[in-house]
Amino acid sequence: MKELMANLSKSGTTRRTVRPLAVLVALMLSSMAAALVAGTAIAFGGPPSSATLTLQAPAQSVVGQNVGVVAVLGGRQGQSAGHPITLLVDNVQLATKFADSQGRATFTIPGTTLNTVRVYRLTAVADGGRGRRSSAVASLSVIAAQPPGQGSGSGTSAQRTSLSLAIPTGSPLGNDVAVTASLKDASGRPMAGQHLALMLDGVQLKSDDSDPTGHVAFSIPGKKLNQAGGYAVEATFSGSHGYSASAANATLTVVAAAIQIRTVPAVAGLGFSLGGVTATTGPDGVAALPVPASGIYKLTSDLNPDATGTPTVRAGFVRWADDVYTASRTIVVDGPATYVMGLRVAYSASVRYLDMTGRAVDPAVVDEAHFSADDGTEVALNTQTGTTKVWWTANTTAPVQSNGVTAAPIKYRAVSVKIHGLDALAPDQQEWTPADGDWTIRLEIYDLSVRAQDAVFGGAASGQVRLSWPDRTSVAEPVGADGRVTFSGLPAGNYLVSLAGVTTRVSLPGSQVATLSVLSSTDVALEIAAGLAIGLLMLLTFARWRSLRRRRV
């Protein structure tokens, strides 16, 4: 103290200022010393995170007698010392003490507090702040005192009773829970007409008299169980004439509310979130969202979460079964529930063309194809849209009275497949559903073989054979060494084929072979030579005739 005052004086502090400060410091040190002498511990921080609290109390006592109980805060050696522990009797604070070096705090409950024949609830709480809290609960049955002069063999002392509690091991959030309390005497016989009470987390919920079998059936309202976790349930018998009080304790575990989202039709991989909980639908189209507390939540959906860039399924929102028409919505969670979302689903599929023999047909030869669905939808594919990875609506949602919505599958039919203005679609095409994969369509097309021959000698002609379609477009192919050329993929119709000015008409499928007889250059030369020879012969004949005539004259 003298050193402190000297330092203050050196710093320029006046005696008028130094004296009050010295007095204040002395008082603080004296108070701390007195507290230590009195045995009071100063606690810093909360109990260790691994600490557990237990409460040691007798099961029974006599009305008006003092009762000693001990609270023990467990943990590593020495870490529990100095932490405050509070004892409550029927939720009324009795005293607060600090744990000793062994983590123990001893309390005495005065007999003036235990002045009624009944069951008392004892609660010890170790609260170190920062959200760290440990608690322990015990029941104390207080019975009537034995009258003076009457021994235990007189038959007038209170007979012991036993109370048991039947409770489910677990219950969904917000559900009513049925529990049964059973009261028996010391001989195990049911006790009828006795008043029993049910407590939930220290608060009395209900009371009733036991039936002839000694049972009382209680129901805990679901609205009281609005948080997932453990609830302390206690049944009490306060005693009656000739019978002691008794109690039974159990823990009711409430599990999170199971909220299910079911899609119609069932689509896997769709994402949903509810109050920070997320889930995706499985193959059955169901997503499970466990919610730990009752309340109002925002339900949102991600109907197309595929991040690959090449999804094969697309889902579009139609409606909820309970007549909500926005994909995201607000719901009230007070227990398990299922929400049904109606969807419009489309699949990515390609169209493949085959001829009547099963050979693949190049889709580039198809100018335009038309399709119709049984819901009235029409689809047209052409050379610009292509035939690969086309999106086809496969299902939509229709309302029904029984369960709100139902899936309505959509089937497609091919109407026409045009090649150069001619319909090549084969008859008796099957209906198709997009979920089945790629669509195979049969085309009624033919091959036309053209034989080009020399008109004079009958050998193979050369050159290019031109095929003209009914829409006046044409294509030319060179004649092979065998004098033939083949045109493939021709729908039924009338065609013109020509070579070297010679043209013939072909009708498919009536004729699939055509012959063109043309004059070659050799044929022309021979014709010219023959003509000249004939002309020369005729001149010679005419000249001879004139010569003979002159001689006669």
pLDDT tens string 423-456? 999 988 889 998 888 999 999 999 899 998 876 6
In this prediction, residue 524 carries a pLDDT of 52
Domain 53-143 and domain 445-521, same fold? Reply is: yes
- Contact between 231 and 251 (Cβ < 8 Å): yes
State the chain's mean pLDDT as an integer.
81
The DSSP H or E segment spanning 205 is strand 203-209
In this prediction, residue 521 carries a pLDDT of 54
pLDDT for residue 249 is more than 50 = yes
DSSP string, 96-115: EEE--TTSEEEEEE-TTTS-
Q: With CA atoms as reference, report the closest residue to 317 among 288, 279, 293, 346.
A: 346
3-state SS of 158-201 is: CECEEEEEECCCCEECCCCEEEEEEEEECCCCECCCCEEEEEEC
In this prediction, residue 403 carries a pLDDT of 61
Q: In the structure, what pLDDT confidence band is assigned to residue 304 with cuts at 50, 70 and 90?
A: confident
In this prediction, residue 168 carries a pLDDT of 92
Question: In the chain, what are the domain boundaries?
Answer: 2-37, 53-143, 159-255, 263-366+386-413, 445-521
What is the rounded average pLDDT of the residues 464-470? Answer: 91
Q: In the structure, what pLDDT confidence band is assigned to residue 520 with cuts at 50, 70 and 90?
A: low
In this prediction, residue 112 carries a pLDDT of 87
Handedness of CA 154, 156, 158, 164 (dihedral sign): positive
Q: Which long-range contacts (CB under 8 A, 24 or more apart) does 546-552 make?
A: none
Can you read off the two tokens belonging to residue 40?
């009071």
SS3 538: helix
In this prediction, residue 239 carries a pLDDT of 85
pLDDT for residue 3 is more than 80 = no
In this prediction, residue 154 carries a pLDDT of 40
pLDDT for residue 74 is more than 90 = no
Distance, CA of 246 to CA of 120 (rounded, Å): 10
Q: Write the class of the CATH domain 159-255.
A: mainly beta
Torsion region of 458: left, alpha or beta (phi above 0 gives left; psi -120 to 50 gives alpha): left
Q: Write the class of the CATH domain 53-143.
A: mainly beta
In this prediction, residue 150 carries a pLDDT of 44
- Write down the pTM of the prediction: 0.57
Residue predicted with more confidence, 111 or 458: 111
**Third-level CATH fold of 445-521:** Immunoglobulin-like (2.60.40)
- Contact between 346 and 434 (Cβ < 8 Å): yes
Compute how many other C-beta atoms are within 10 angstroms of the C-beta atom of residue 288: 14
Distance, CA of 415 to CA of 441 (rounded, Å): 11
What is the rounded average pLDDT of the residues 344-372? Answer: 91
pLDDT tens string 155-174? 446 789 999 999 998 898 88
In this prediction, residue 368 carries a pLDDT of 93
Distance, CA of 480 to CA of 165 (rounded, Å): 100
